């Protein structure tokens, strides 16, 4: 449908944009829906429940804390939706309380009974047998009580510093302590070293192999042993979430690693942003905690169950019930790699596209491994954003450096929540003799690229890897991402120049294949959208398909609105945050937005433009967000091989046809589950791709 002339529409109206934070909460609601689906394996349902809690923790630590600071400063509206921080926080409180309430209802009313029916029990204190209680009391005295440090509060003992997201207890007391003063309250902190779930000894009478007790229940049951001679007037668990956003002034700090190490310590005790307490905690204790932490009622979350739901993820492994999990699978390998003499020979012959996790990440590791051993390889260069504290790829890079290769690694120390791991890895690489750079002040190095320089037949040849994901073997098994392995000289030349830029900070020549943020990527995306508009206005066809994690940047959204108003068909596959509002008459009638939420975390970034039949296709490390376009170093790389291009387009068609895992965004900002129409076969894109993997194997 073609609306009014595009230049007659005011595309800056706030009502054309969905608030970023509220869109993030909507994503968590979709994830929670996976935990509610009876067709999802039971332990996977529990896992999705835990993922929601982990996501909410980060949401409060970073996004809510920032909004609270803006509210305190009286800052004006920041986003294109023009909502004030106070308005957004009010809406977040309402929606987050409803979401958390649904989490605990699901846990208590559905998941715990269903798990118990399968022999996986969380045994409450009132149901402990005498033998279980005696075993737990002994366990408390041997394994728990020695590492607890209860702090009784009095004028000489101020409220202790509580570690971010740690498990704590507020204990009501009546009596006089050893030094003659009356006691009313105490705080007990549970060290993080203590597991939050305790597996009972199955040799005990009436105890099964998968019987668990919450640590909070054990501390509650035997709290009197910490306060001998006192009358215990209640023991209630609570947890404080703190501002964890690291602040680094690029203009003032001259040692990024040292500065971040200091900030990491400080962030554990940042300003409180949320208080979770047991549902039955007395009002006097709750009010005391709120006043002490300087929080309001809107920041209080009363929960009926453990305050740290994300720790229940341990059951996924401890229970050992593979029949209650997703069926296992073995990632495949492209035939070209299986039959080739070496990974170098395979890449020389043709570009290779890997679709993780359906296809293995091992060829990427194999490229580094072979390069480390090959006497003809002179240099290996690689960017690291997230790789995990125990990283196989870092092991290989260390081995290469020790073997005398020139190893250069650009490691992003400011990868959120991976800062400590990356500092440790950077130190290890430096000690092995690798050249390590810490990115660029003011910009996060988020692109994923590797360059291997090898001497062949008397001249140098370069091999590249470019990806949409990270060099992290763990996430490569659960995130969907694309990897491109290529020996294309033009592509390799571009990657070479970007590495020179990262190390020297000098300008690069114009890149021939790649588009790079913060320099050309945003401009290029706008140009490609405008070209689709021009094609439609000249009587041709316009079609855009974009798959990404988040769509936020307002200029790109306005360009998409102009394209829709001109008649361009736009299909957006956005896993998480989407600030574009589809279905606005005359503005976004031709835009459809869908989200796929399933077994694997959709992480790929793929951009398709019809380009008057030329069909331009790019994979990228960048979402369409302000930070990716302007505050990060990102790459978008073109797909030029016709076979690979056809494969990627076929994958996009599958995502657009999914009617099992897909959700569609409505104009009011709500998401509706997509279901198969009458007579239409059901299609889960993730199940179809797994089936294709099995058939090809």
Inter-residue contact 328 to 355 (CB < 8 Å) = no
Please give the DSSP secondary-structure letter assigned to residue 395.
Answer: H
Distance in angstroms (rounded) separating the CA atoms of residues 45 and 313: 10
Task: Tell me if residue 610 is catalytic.
Answer: no
Q: What is the pLDDT of residues 380-404, one digit of tens each?
A: 999 998 887 788 999 999 999 999 9
* Percentage of the chain modeled with pLDDT above 90: 82
Q: What is the pLDDT of residues 50-65, one digit of tens each?
A: 999 999 999 999 999 9
**Is the confidence at residue 253, as pLDDT, over 60?**
no
Distance in angstroms (rounded) separating the CA atoms of residues 455 and 462: 9
Distance in angstroms (rounded) separating the CA atoms of residues 550 and 26: 13
**Is the confidence at residue 248, as pLDDT, over 60?**
no
* Percentage of the chain modeled with pLDDT above 70: 94
For position 247, what pLDDT does the model report? 44
Lowest mean pLDDT among 242-256, 358-372, 439-453: 242-256
Task: Name the pairing type of β-strands 444-445 and 632-638.
Answer: parallel
For position 196, what pLDDT does the model report? 93
20-324: CATH topology is: polyphosphate kinase like (3.30.1840)
- Band of the pLDDT at 262, cuts 50, 70, 90? very low
For position 418, what pLDDT does the model report? 59
What mean pLDDT comes out for the span 205-226?
A: 96
Q: Cα–Cα distances in Å, from 565 out to 221, 281, 309, 619? A: 65, 55, 45, 26
How many angstroms separate the first and last alpha carbons of the chain? 44
CA 289 to chain centre: 30
Structure tokens given for 22 = 């509220």
For position 269, what pLDDT does the model report? 58
Class of domain 335-509: alpha beta
* Residue of 285, 355, 446, 603 marked active site: 446
Structure tokens given for 82 = 């023009």
Q: What is the pLDDT of residues 519-530, one digit of tens each?
A: 999 999 999 999
517-696: CATH topology is: Endonuclease; Chain A (3.30.870)
Q: Where are the beta strands (DSSP E) in 580-660?
A: 591-596, 601-602, 606-609, 616-620, 632-638
Distance in angstroms (rounded) separating the CA atoms of residues 540 and 677: 31
Inter-residue contact 613 to 543 (CB < 8 Å) = no
Structure tokens given for 630 = 């302007």
CA neighbor of 238 nearest in space, from 296, 198, 187, 196: 187
Structure tokens given for 172 = 């009501």
What mean pLDDT comes out for the span 661-668?
A: 96
Q: Where are the domains of the chain?
A: 20-324, 335-509, 517-696
For position 414, what pLDDT does the model report? 66
Domains 335-509 and 517-696 share a fold: yes
3-state secondary structure of 687: helix
CB atoms within 10 A of CB 331: 17
For position 417, what pLDDT does the model report? 57
- Band of the pLDDT at 656, cuts 50, 70, 90? very high
152 burial (CB, 10 Å; 0-12 / 13-18 / 19+) is buried
Instruction: Quickly tell me which residue has 């709120």 as its tokens.
Output: 290
For 655, the enclosing helix (H) or strand (E) is helix 642-657
How high is the mean pLDDT of the chain?
Answer: 92
What mean pLDDT comes out for the span 243-259?
A: 51
Strand partners, 440: 443
For position 182, what pLDDT does the model report? 84
Q: What is the pLDDT of residues 305-354, one digit of tens each?
A: 999 999 999 999 899 899 999 999 999 999 999 989 899 999 999 999 99
φ, ψ at 564 (rounded to 5°) = -65, -45
- Band of the pLDDT at 415, cuts 50, 70, 90? low
CB atoms within 10 A of CB 250: 11
What mean pLDDT comes out for the span 280-292?
A: 96
Helix 42-58 to helix 20-36 angle (10° resolution) is: 160
Q: What is the pLDDT of residues 95-116, one digit of tens each?
A: 999 999 999 999 999 999 999 9
The residue among 416 and 202 whose pLDDT is bigger is 202
**Is the confidence at residue 3, as pLDDT, over 50?**
no
656 burial (CB, 10 Å; 0-12 / 13-18 / 19+) is middle
Distance in angstroms (rounded) separating the CA atoms of residues 157 and 144: 23
Inter-residue contact 579 to 626 (CB < 8 Å) = no
Q: What is the pLDDT of residues 564-606, one digit of tens each?
A: 999 999 999 999 999 999 999 999 999 999 999 999 999 999 9
Distance in angstroms (rounded) separating the CA atoms of residues 582 and 573: 12
Q: Where are the beta strands (DSSP E) in 502-590?
A: 515-517, 543-548, 569-574
Lowest mean pLDDT among 141-155, 252-266, 497-511: 252-266
177 burial (CB, 10 Å; 0-12 / 13-18 / 19+) is middle
CA neighbor of 344 nearest in space, from 461, 497, 450: 461
Give rounded-to-5 percent helix, strand, coil for the chain.
40, 25, 35
For position 693, what pLDDT does the model report? 85
Buried b (16+ CB within 10 A) or exposed e, 616-654: bbbbbbbbbbbbbbeebbbbbbbbebeebbeebeebbeb
For position 9, what pLDDT does the model report? 72
Distance in angstroms (rounded) separating the CA atoms of residues 496 and 305: 54
């Amino acid at each position: 449908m073609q609306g009014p002339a595009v230049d007659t529409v005011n595309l800056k109206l706030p009502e054309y944009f969905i608030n970023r934070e509220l869109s993030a909460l909507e994503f968590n609601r979709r994830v929670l829906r996976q935990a509610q689906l009876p067709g999802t394996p039971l332990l996977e349902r529990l896992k999705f429940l835990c993922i929601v809690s982990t996501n909410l923790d980060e949401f409060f630590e970073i996004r809510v804390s920032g909004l609270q600071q803006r509210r305190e400063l009286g800052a004006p509206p920041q986003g294109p939706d023009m909502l004030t921080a106070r308005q957004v926080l009010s809406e977040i409180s309402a929606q987050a309380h409803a979401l958390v309430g649904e989490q605990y209802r699901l846990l208590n009313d559905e998941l715990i009974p269903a798990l118990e029916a399968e022999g996986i029990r969380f045994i409450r204190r009132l149901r402990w047998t005498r033998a279980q209680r005696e075993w737990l009391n002994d366990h408390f005295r041997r394994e728990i009580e020695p590492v607890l440090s209860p702090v009784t509060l009095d004028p000489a003992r101020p409220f202790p510093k509580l570690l971010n997201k740690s498990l704590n207890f507020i204990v009501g007391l009546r009596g006089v302590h050893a030094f003659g003063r009356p006691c009313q309250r105490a705080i007990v902190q549970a060290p993080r070293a203590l597991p939050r779930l305790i597996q009972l000894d199955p040799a005990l009478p009436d105890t099964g192999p998968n019987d668990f007790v919450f640590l909070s229940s054990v501390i509650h049951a035997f709290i009197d042993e910490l306060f001998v001679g006192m009358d215990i007037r209640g023991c209630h668990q609570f947890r404080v979430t703190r501002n964890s956003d690291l602040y680094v002034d690029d203009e003032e700090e001259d040692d990024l690693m040292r500065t971040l190490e200091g900030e990491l310590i400080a962030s554990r005790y940042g300003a409180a942003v949320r208080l979770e307490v047991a549902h039955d905690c007395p009002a006097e204790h709750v009010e005391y905690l709120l006043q002490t932490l300087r929080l309001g009622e809107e920041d209080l979350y009363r929960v009926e169950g453990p305050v740290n739901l994300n720790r229940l993820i341990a059951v996924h492994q401890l229970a050992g019930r593979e029949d209650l999990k997703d069926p296992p699978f073995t990632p495949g390998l492209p035939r070209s790699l299986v039959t080739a003499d070496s990974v170098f020979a395979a890449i020389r012959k043709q570009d290779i596209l890997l679709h993780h996790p359906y296809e293995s990440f091992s060829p990427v590791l194999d490229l580094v491994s072979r390069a480390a051993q090959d006497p003809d390889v002179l240099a290996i260069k690689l960017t690291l954003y997230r790789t995990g504290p125990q990283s196989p790829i870092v092991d290989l890079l260390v081995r290469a450096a020790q073997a005398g290769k020139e190893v250069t690694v650009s490691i992003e120390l400011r990868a959120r929540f991976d800062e400590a791991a990356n500092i440790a890895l950077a130190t290890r690489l430096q000690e092995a003799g690798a050249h390590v750079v810490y990115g660029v002040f003011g910009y996060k190095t988020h692109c994923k690229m590797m360059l291997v320089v090898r001497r062949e037949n008397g001249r140098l040849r370069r091999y590249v890897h470019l990806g949409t994901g990270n060099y992290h073997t763990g996430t490569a098994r659960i995130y969907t991402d694309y990897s491109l392995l290529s020996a294309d000289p033009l592509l390799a030349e571009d990657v070479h120049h970007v590495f020179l830029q990262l190390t020297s900070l000098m300008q690069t020549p114009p890149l021939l294949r790649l588009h790079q943020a913060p320099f050309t990527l945003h401009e290029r995306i706008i140009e490609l959208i405008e070209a689709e508009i021009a094609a439609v206005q000249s009587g041709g066809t316009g079609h855009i398909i974009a798959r990404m994690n988040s769509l936020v940047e307002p200029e790109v959204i306005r360009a998409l609105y102009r394209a829709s108003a001109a008649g361009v068909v736009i299909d957006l596959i956005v896993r998480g945050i989407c600030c574009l509002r589809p279905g606005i008459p005359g503005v976004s009638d031709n835009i459809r937005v869908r989200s796929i939420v399933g077994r694997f975390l959709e992480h790929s970034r793929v951009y398709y433009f019809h380009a008057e039949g030329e069909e331009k296709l790019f994979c990228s490390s960048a979402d369409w967000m302000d930070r990716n376009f302007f505050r990060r170093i990102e790459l978008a790389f073109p797909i030029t091989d016709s076979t690979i291009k056809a494969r990627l387009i076929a994958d996009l068609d599958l995502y657009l046809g999914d009617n099992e895992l897909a959700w569609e965004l409505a104009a009011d900002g709500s998401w509706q589950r997509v279901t198969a129409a009458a007579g239409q076969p059901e299609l889960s894109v993730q199940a179809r791709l797994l089936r294709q993997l099995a058939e090809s194997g």
